[in-house]
Chain A
Amino acid sequence: MELSIALTTEPDSILGPCNPNSKYMKVDADLVKNVAVLAQLKIQDSDLEETISNLTNVLGLVDQMQAVDTKGVSPMSNPLDATQIMRPDVVTESNQREQFQKVAPSVERGFFLVPRVVE
């Protein structure tokens, strides 16, 4: 649980000033565009208005959570409060590179091909 503290003490997010206490999150074009960059998605200008409207509605729905008193309640990540199962540290899988690369869009000599990254 210590891990989450680092995330929460960050004063500002790259989406703008952080105000988690605001009752309704204002969704505007800048917010949508910034989130889209994080998500590696492009929102076409023609879809921007509809996306803003839909996200406003969805965040309006989820903002109903803010009215719930959760002080001192520990977050639940697994229904049975189970922790990660560890397996013995032994090799169980063999290398199947060729089989896995069969489904890749573009490969060459065992490598995944992408556009040139370094000039």
Chain B
Amino acid sequence: MEQKSLVEMLKDLDNKTVSSRELTEHYIGAIEARDGLLNAFITRDFENALTHADAIDQMRAKGSVVASVPGGAPSLAGIPIVHKDIFCTKGVRTTAGSKILENFVAPYSSTVSSKLEDSGAIMLGKANMDEFAMGSSNENSYFGPARNPWDTQKIPGGSSGGSAVAVSAGLCAAATGTDTGGSIRQPAAMCGITGIKPTYGRVSRWGIIAYASSLDQAGPMTRSAEDAALMLRVMAGFDPKDSTSINAPVPDYQSSLNDSIEGTKIGLCKEYFSDGLDEDIAKAIDVAVKVLESKGAVISDISLPTVKHAIPAYYVIAPAEASANLARYDGVRFGYRCEEPKDLADLYLRSRTEGFGTEVKQRILVGTFALSAGFYEAYYGKAQQIRRLIKNDFMQALSSVDVILGPTTPSTAFNIGEKSNDPVEMYLQDIYTVTSNLVGLPAASIPAGFSKGMPIGMQLIGNYLSEAKLLNIAHQFQLETGHHLKTPEVTV
């Protein structure tokens, strides 16, 4: 059942060969059997899921479930999904993986979770993540790390680690994630699933707990590009409540999946194949390129000389914006409050100090420093200038190729605890992914093979609003390869 695509599941639901209750119960069973070990969920919401599934089944029985919902988006009626625990969901707690929000129940729902609910998707629960999306391994979660289903001694990647684990291990049909520096693509790569970070502004940020507002973007995490096309169609679109939302129509991503990729120009960025890239990953990407070439894609080498500055610029901009966004956690209006504060200053100081985890505090410190008077221009201003230079490089490259292809990560998943003591080494995990956040370009990661049993991800970066093209290429690749169909055996 879990091997089926969303399209197949919807067909089964429409034909009544399976009910939403049966699907939901199937995933609940899988979660109960395997999630004690995998820790992909922070909050389970089975009771509401089953109630919702029954309601959908009744609507279907009456013939009142339609193929699309208002706005032309497809129906996901009866499909069980999970949300990264960064999307506010009215009535169900939203923690962002933090102690400071351990008991926070949002009084409203994010635009993304509302849209998915309106399309009839069933929410099974909220997925584990690095605290406030700060991390590349899921080890920064207050609720303990999620584990990679391909090897439970290894990290699943982060920050959307729980979402990636849930999809990969068959604990849900699809999931949502967010990506500020690679947080959809890196765990997707490490868990062997498909993930896409859309163009900045394509998906509304409203109701998503903010990390770095000029970089944050939400997207789907799924078993295939076809599933991602369906999910993204529902998630994307203009939202007047997000001041950086793009007011452009959302294409039917499914309708272009089967377009021929003959003549599609694919650029290989030589900077993405340099020192530090695992040999097996380099080989797998080579093989993948040949597959695309056999489908008529035209391959050329390109250079993006400024991408080497992306990590330093990112680790100024992201912490700077985080330090401003996280100033709201003051122990007064919501979230954790320390015991018996002796005065207001003590209340602020101890609520924040006790409520935030180590990495979050460290990034707040870096960001506060970078924004402080006298240093602002040398750090934040400089980083924003470098961002422009990187964008210029990409625009130059994308004037001669349609997409840029490379590895998603420099290595496959590493052991839990292996890099957790060295922030800089951990930050280098994002070396291939942060650039598209800085520039705002859409980028997808799709399974491209295995190294010593662990999944390898291939990244496709396209021009603004070219999600349809990325999904088209990804789907064409997945028609020729079976990497995305492989599933891990989780023995508890």
Chain A interface (Cβ < 8 Å from any Cβ of B): 4, 7-8, 10-15, 18, 20-21, 31-32, 35-36, 38-42, 51, 54-55, 57-66, 68, 70, 73-80, 82, 84-85, 87, 96, 99-100, 102-106, 112, 114-117
New A-B contacts (19) at CB < 8 Å, excluding given A8-B376, A115-B346: A7-B376, A14-B372, A18-B374, A35-B368, A36-B365, A41-B365, A55-B362, A59-B369, A74-B385, A75-B385, A79-B439, A87-B240, A100-B333, A103-B334, A105-B331, A112-B332, A112-B333, A114-B341, A115-B343
In whole angstroms, how far apart are the Cα atoms of A39 and B365 in the complex? 7
Provide the bound-state CA to CA distance between A21 and B389, in Å: 20
**Other-chain residue from B350, B365, B427 in contact with A55 (beta carbon distance below 8 A):** B365
Query: Quick one: given A39-B323, A105-B331, are A7 and B107 in contact (CB under 8 Å)?
Result: no
The docked-state distance in angstroms from the alpha carbon of A100 to that of B341 is 22
| B240 cross-chain contacts in A, Cβ below 8 A | 85, 87
Taking a contact as CB atoms under 8 Å apart, the answer to whether A38 and B107 are in contact is no
- Cβ of B385 and Cβ of A70 under 8 Å apart? yes
CB of B388 within 8 A of CB of A13, answer: no
Chain A residue, CB-CB nearest to B323: A39
B244 — which chain A residues lie within 8 A by C-beta?
A: 78, 82, 85
Q: How far is the CB of A12 from chain B (nearest CB, A)?
A: 6
Chain B residues contacting A104 (CB-CB under 8 Å) are: 332-334
Quick check: B424 and A58 within 8 Å, CB to CB?
yes
Interface residues of B in 227-249 (CB under 8 A from A): 240, 243-246
| Chain A residue, CB-CB nearest to B340 | A115
A42 to B347, CA, bound (A): 12
Give the residue of A31, A41, A73 whose beta carbon is less than 8 angstroms from that of B356.
A41
Contact (Cβ within 8 A) B374 A103:
no
A80–B247 Cα gap in the complex (Å)? 12
Closest to A40 in B: B348
Residues A12 and B105 in contact in the complex (CB < 8 Å), given A41-B352, A59-B366, A76-B384: no
For residue A77, which residues in chain B have a CB less than 8 angstroms away from its CB? 214, 384
Partner of A57, one of B107, B246, B423: B423
A41 in contact with B349 (CB, 8 Å)? yes
Would A20 and B323 count as touching, CB distance under 8 A?
Answer: no
B312 touches A65 (CB 8 A): yes
B386 lies within 8 A of A68 (CB): yes
Q: How far is the CA of A107 from the CA of B344 in the complex (A)?
A: 15
Q: Does B488 contact A (CB under 8 A)?
A: no
Q: What separation, in Å, do the CA atoms of A11 and B311 have in the docked complex?
A: 29
When C-beta atoms are compared, the residue in chain A nearest to B326 turns out to be A39
> Taking the nearest CB of chain B, how far is it from the CB of A83, in angstroms?
10
Bound complex: CA A64 to CA B308 (Å): 10
**Chain B residues numbered 215-262 whose CB sits less than 8 Å from any CB in chain A:** 240, 243-246
| 23 A-B contacts (beta carbon < 8 Å) | A11-B374, A13-B372, A13-B373, A15-B369, A35-B365, A38-B372, A54-B423, A59-B369, A62-B313, A62-B366, A65-B316, A68-B306, A68-B385, A68-B386, A70-B385, A70-B389, A79-B200, A99-B107, A103-B107, A103-B334, A105-B331, A106-B337, A117-B344
Cα(A36)–Cα(B323), bound, Å: 11
Chain B residues with CB under 8 A of A63: 312
Closest to B392 in A: A73
- Residue B32 at the chain A interface, CB threshold 8 Å: no
Residues of B contacting A: mostly: helix
Q: Is the C-beta of B464 less than 8 angstroms from some C-beta in chain A?
A: yes
When chains A and B are docked, how far (Å) is the Cα of A39 from the Cα of B107?
27
Please judge, given known A-B contacts A4-B381, A8-B381, A62-B312, whether A39 and B368 are in contact too, CB under 8 Å: yes
Interface flag for B364 (CB, 8 Å): yes
Verify if B201 is at the interface (C-beta below 8 Å from A).
yes
List residues of chain B with CB under 8 Å of any chain A CB. Answer: 104-107, 199-201, 214, 240, 243-246, 306, 309, 311-313, 315-316, 323, 327, 330-337, 341-344, 346-350, 352-353, 356, 361-362, 364-366, 368-370, 372-379, 381-389, 391, 422-424, 427, 439-441, 464
B377/A20 in contact, CB under 8 A = yes
Interface of A is mostly: loop
Residues in B neighbouring A105, C-beta threshold 8 A: 331-332, 334-337
- Rounded to whole Å, the gap between the CB of B388 and the closest CB of chain A is 4
Taken together as a complex, chains A and B put the C-alpha atoms of A54 and B425 apart, in Å, by: 11
Residues from chain B with Cβ under 8 Å of A8 in the complex: 376-377, 381
Residue among A11, A40, A42, A73 with most chain B CB within 10 A? A40
Nearest residue (CB) in B for A117 is B344
User: Which of A36, A82, A105 has the largest count of B CB atoms less than 10 A from its CB?
Assistant: A105
Q: A15-B369, A64-B309, A112-B333 are in contact. Are A76 and B388 (CB under 8 A)?
A: yes
Within the assembled complex, what's the spacing in Å between the Cα atoms of A114 and B199?
Answer: 42
Q: Looking at B332, B369, B370, which has the most chain A CB atoms within 10 Å of its CB? A: B369
Shortest Cβ distance from residue B463 to the other chain A in the assembled complex, whole angstroms: 11
A77 to B438, CA, bound (A): 9
Q: Report the separation of the CA atoms of residues A61 and B384 in the bound assembly, to the nearest whole angstrom.
A: 16
Knowing A41-B353, A57-B423, A117-B344, say if A12 contacts B362 (CB, 8 Å): no
Which of A39, A41, A68, A99 lies at the interface centre, i.e. has the most chain B CB atoms within 10 A of its CB? A39
User: Closest B-chain residue to A88, C-beta based?
Assistant: B240
A103 CB, min distance to chain B CBs, angstroms: 4
Chain B residues positioned under 8 Å from A117 (CB to CB): 343-344
Given contacts A15-B375, A104-B333, contact A42 B365 (CB under 8 A): no
